[in-house]
Amino acid sequence: MSSKYDNPFNNLKRIFHEPNRLAILSALCSTANGLTFRDLRDQCDLTDGNLSRHLKALEEAGVIEIEKKFVGVKPQTTVLLTDMGRDSFIEYLKALEEVLQKAAEAITTGEEGVSLPFAWIKPLGASS
């Protein structure tokens, strides 16, 4: 019997496991300098209110930090991924990949090695 620590599902952190937050974090991973609220909103196709709600949860978890400053006379909000947030998100992605790989393996081979109709799906990391 495996321990709860061997189960990759236990490493799927709820703070990341939501489609809009996945989009937000994926966008933030693409830049070291963060993104403005407007750019992040546009890239993730979210409303101001929806983005604000997700950013609040991510900030409270220490995943992101929010900087507010003025550029000329206009306020500008920049969202940055923290080092801890980046490390946690990478660990989440590794756990998700492991879960998806196990699912792909289960789909491609049924009980007693009988091929299922979805055998064209290759497990992640399988060579072409």
Per-residue model confidence as pLDDT tens digits over 62-112: 999 999 999 999 999 999 999 999 999 999 898 888 888 888 888 776 555
CATH architecture of 8-113: Orthogonal Bundle (1.10)
Bridge partners for 109 per DSSP: 115
Poorest-confidence range of 51-60, 73-82, 101-110, 115-124? 115-124
- pLDDT at 111 (0 to 100): 52
**C-alpha neighbours within 13 Å on the C-beta side of residue 54:** 23
- Cβ(118)–Cβ(105) below 8 Å: no
